Structure 1
Amino acid sequence: MSEVRIVAPRGDLFGQRIREQWTEQLGRRLDILLAGCAHDEQLVLERIETRVTGVDVELPAIRTIMESRHDLAAWALGDMRSVPMPPRSFDVIRLTFLLERIEHAELVLDRMLQALRPGGLILLRMRDRSSAYGWCDRVTPRWLRRLVWRRVVAEGTPGPLPAVYEPVTSRDGMHAFCLTRGLMITDDETATTGPAMGRIGSAAVALVDKLTRGRLPSAHDEVTMVIRKPQNHFARLI
């Protein structure tokens, strides 16, 4: 069992939603799945008993990170279509910058929904495919991304990781996905946190914004959502 008992900053959206979920379940232990541990942070919670499992794709840089983490009760690496995610096993699933770097993203999301208990939460953070940053990230050749990476990120940051960006990895794409699955989006926020958003990166995305007349905006590159699975499987919003 992994138990996290450290003080959470009250401004943390995900931490707040996890505390609310714990209260709704009358203090029962929360089973949490962390998907995308390469860019994940240790859960910061307050007096909440948890059992935390991690999953991610099989890459050397990610394996090194997983082997060094002590907050996980279990972890697995591999194809996200087949890594262990037993049905109705988790109260909360947190996805951190995972969907934009994997193929078959909708299939993986459906697997996670099956692994989520009724009333459970998906805490999603991803790069927006429809932003100027997302466009630059997915069209930049891999060799150039490798060349630039170490100059724009802090030492020890894993990457550059694959940039797939399927249609669901956009704000509109995720809204459409949730509508067809009967899911409720309770929080929807945007921010600018891209690792390449220094002076050169900011100039590049600003140029893309200008050339596309705002169709690919530079005002944000990250989408954060809290998504709730209904208690009743047949409760759908049409």
Structure 2
Amino acid sequence: MTELSVRDRAVVEHDLFAERVRLHVQDKGLRRVHILEAGCGRGNGLPLPDDLDRHITGIDLDTPALRARTADRPDLDTFHLGDLRNAPLPPRAYDVVHADSLIERITHAELVLDRMVAALKPGGLLLVRFTDRDSAYGLIRRTLPRRLRRMLGEDVQRTHPSVFEPITSLEGMRNWCLQRGLVIAEAHTETGCGGGVAALARLLSTATGGRLTADHSELVLVVRKPENRFARIL
């Protein structure tokens, strides 16, 4: 696996991912791109160009809030409601899997990621964005109650309870990819917090001697599944 450092600059996740989808379609000569939106009741869809022929399938838990949010999304051609750990995911059915703000809020995140990779076609892309548990912001979101975070200026109205398993870090994702023969093609940082939360993150970073960084809150990764059918993939 090619090891890449997190780039020391912020990126707009949606623009980055949409461009990677466009290039993937171009490189593969796809007539239609099949996309799985994992955790579609929480994240946002990709701003794909109108002339791109695509079929988008959404999947998320069957709760009233997530069901309503999923049903209201105009970009989804179809959707399924169920636990990502056992919901039906056809093997090698999708060119792209997009998981926005998902893996930090679920248990058995590695199992879910394994199932999403199994649903990817060889050469397909896994596009993930999540809060870095090893950042100061990650510690705040793991330990500080919603009420206090709201008082510090963070928008937590639609935030689901977070779990933050070890894989929700750059090192965790690198180890997971290495064990499965996946390639991290790109790794970026993004900061989406301000106000009192950002100030608290800076204090935490100083108090830990920089071990918990306040330079970013999110990790944005482009992971590629190998073309080689003999690769160590599910």
Q: CA RMSD in A?
A: 2.1
How many correspondences in the alignment? Answer: 219
Q: Deviations over 1:38-96 (max 9, x none)?
A: 44223222321000011123333222211211211111222210122111110000010
Contact 1:91-1:117 within 8 A present in 2 as well: yes
Contact 2:177 2:184 in 1 (8 A): yes
The CA deviation string for residues 7-38 of structure 1, in whole angstroms up to 9 with x for no partner, is xx9x9211111111111221321110011224
State how far apart, in whole Å, the 2-side matches of 1:85 and 1:150 are: 40
**Percent identity of the aligned residues?**
44
Q: Offset of 1:204 from its aligned partner? A: 1.2
1:36 aligns with one of 35, 39, 55: 39
Match status 1:61 vs 2:65: yes
**TM-score of the aligned structures, taking structure 2 as reference length:** 0.86
Residue from 71, 83, 86 that aligns with 1:79: 83
- For residues 15 and 25 of structure 2, what CA distance do their matches in structure 1 show? 15
Shift of 1:151: 7.5
Q: Which runs of 5+ in 1 are unaligned?
A: 1-8
Higher relative contact order (CA 8 A, sep 6+): 2
In structure 1, C-alpha distance between the alignment counterparts of 2:220 and 2:74, rounded to whole Å = 26
In the alignment, residue 123 of structure 2 is paired with which amino acid? Answer: G
Gaps of 5+ in 2: 1-11
Question: Superposed, which structure 2 residues align to 1:124-135 within 5 Å?
Answer: 124-135=128-139
The amino acid of 2:217's aligned partner reads D
Runs of 4+ in 1 over 6 A off after TM superposition: none
**Partner amino acid, structure 2, of 1:18:** V
Instruction: Give me the TM-score of the superposition, normalised by structure 1.
Output: 0.85
Contact 1:184 1:230 in 2 (8 A): yes
1:81 is aligned with what amino acid? R
| Partner residue in 2 for 1:185 | 184
